A and B are shown apart, each in its own frame.
Chain A
Amino acid sequence: MYSKTVIDRFQNPRNAGGMHGANAIGEVGNAACGDIMKMYLKIDDNGVIENAKFKTFGCCAAIASTDMACDLIKGKTIDEALKVTNKQVLDLLGELPPHKIHCSILAEESIKAAIQNYYERKEKELKKSVKKPVNYV
């Protein structure tokens, strides 16, 4: 049913676990469909993803997909990471059964959700820095 890569990635995920000091966290999926993916990214000032970790509630395919997605975006810039598609995840994993393709799509979405979270945080920081002088006056 699953390819060897999927089983291997599921059994020994390389990027599993949370991350201290992550500055971008994205969560997608819901319990009804059986998959929740949480992506933790550490993005440096130049917009390069230093490190990526994940936590996933879900099946084999979901865990393997997020693990692969983390590998795909490590060391890339935000713009490059946004271009990562589920097709790339699928190619690296070998093959997924048809009804599991959505796991790879979720993995792609979790990257985007994390990056969106990164920009939201940036925006907040900016607003704060604008407000600060006003408070002191």
Chain B
Amino acid sequence: MERKIYLDNASTTYVSNEVMAEMLPCFNTLYGNAGSLHSFGRDAVAILDRARDRVKNAINASKANEIYFTSGGTEADNWAILGVAHANANKGKHIITSAIEHHAVLHACEQLEKEGFEVTYLPVDQYGLVKMPELLHAIRKDTILISIMTVNNEVGTIQNIKAIAKIAHDYGILFHTDAVQAIGNVKMDVQDMEIDLMSMSAHKIHGPKGVGALYVKNGVRIDPITYGGTSQERGKRSGTENVPAIAGFGKAIEIATRNYLINNKKLRSIRDYFLEKLKEKVEYFQVNGHPHQKSNAILNVSFYGIEGESILMLLDLAGICVSTASACTSKSLLPSHVLKAMGIPDDIAQGSIRFSFGTNISKSDVDYVTDEIQKVVAKLRAISPIQAGRI
């Protein structure tokens, strides 16, 4: 059989057996609507409550009712930005975010700009860290929300969330963080980190797709962005709850936080071994992102003189699945906004490949992958008009 190696765990992950076992009964046995009063409905409510409790414990929220299930990370981000802005528009119309956020945040901010809000996009340094002086500089009297992601999805840099949250609260501003990539990779404690709103997603941590959650601290004013029922999610998020997916999410986040330490140790050793092998076999590349303050699961590498999509395709033909931020894969034909914000020149950004590891990767997998990378890079450099050594 052809060898397949999946190194794209930051895009999505497989659903683990434990999670699947948790979900299966919810499809055909416990299939009630949580809004119903009868026994089937009550069973569904019990499943939701248990999942909510698990999420609450995983992020150390003070109450389970601070967790609102959504259709995923994007909805959670959209809702946090739009909902807080709409509910607090009387206090001010200024929002601060960073240039390297996920599009779920950036496009929501663009929508607010159309509605008359002002948004400041904070610059980042060469490692992808938000510049603190710039943040202090950007804060105004009418700032109502600061939204900074915890772990960047492309380069893996971890922001100084606690410090940023503290600054926000010093000025009486709400703080939201997109923790979709952080859950399982970084210890998230919303009370200790003073987070007001936090977006999460299930399918990055071996849970099912199509489910996520927004943590909203009690007392934070937020408007709904969906309208319909008044009973679901305390009237804040209408639509029948996706009970099987939510059950799976609860289990997945419980496992991810339970195995946080051991997983991180594994991922770190995989990543370090990978980088060591890559340095042995390939010349002229750079690692993007912070040297140490970053997620152990993500390694973003720019190979000089060649283009990301062609590397991706050749690796795919060898059974290796990775992802790239090069312009060619996006329909906009612009290189990654994250790498651009970090000041990486276009020709280097175009050659970027993101390897995101799972704990199921073995040393022999890494050996195979780095061997293939060596071949692919040599092949593409032979037909490239740019000389890698000259960059």
Contacts and interface: CB of A to CB of B under 8 A. Distances in A.
The interface residues of chain B, by DSSP majority, are classed as loop
Contact of A34 (B313, B317, B328): B328
Given A58-B307, A58-B310, A34 B385 contact: no
A13 interface: yes
Contact of A63 (B347, B350, B383): B383
B371 interface: no
B327 to A, nearest CB: 4
A55 B383 contact: yes
Of the candidates B327, B345, B382, the one having the most CB atoms from chain A within 10 angstroms of its own CB is B327
Contacts of A17: 382-383
Chain A facing B: main interface SS:
mixed
B331 A55 contact: no
Contacts of A33: 327, 333-334
Interface string A68-83: 0000000000000000
B327 A10 contact: no
Interface residues of A, number: 29
B179 interface: no
A38 B328 CA distance: 18
A60 B316 CA distance: 12
A13 B386 contact: no
B335 interface: yes
A31 B350 contact: yes
18 contacts: A10-B310, A17-B383, A30-B346, A31-B386, A33-B333, A34-B307, A34-B328, A34-B333, A54-B383, A55-B383, A55-B384, A56-B384, A57-B306, A57-B307, A57-B385, A59-B310, A59-B328, A99-B331
Interface of A: 7, 10-11, 13, 16-17, 27, 30-38, 54-63, 99-100, 102
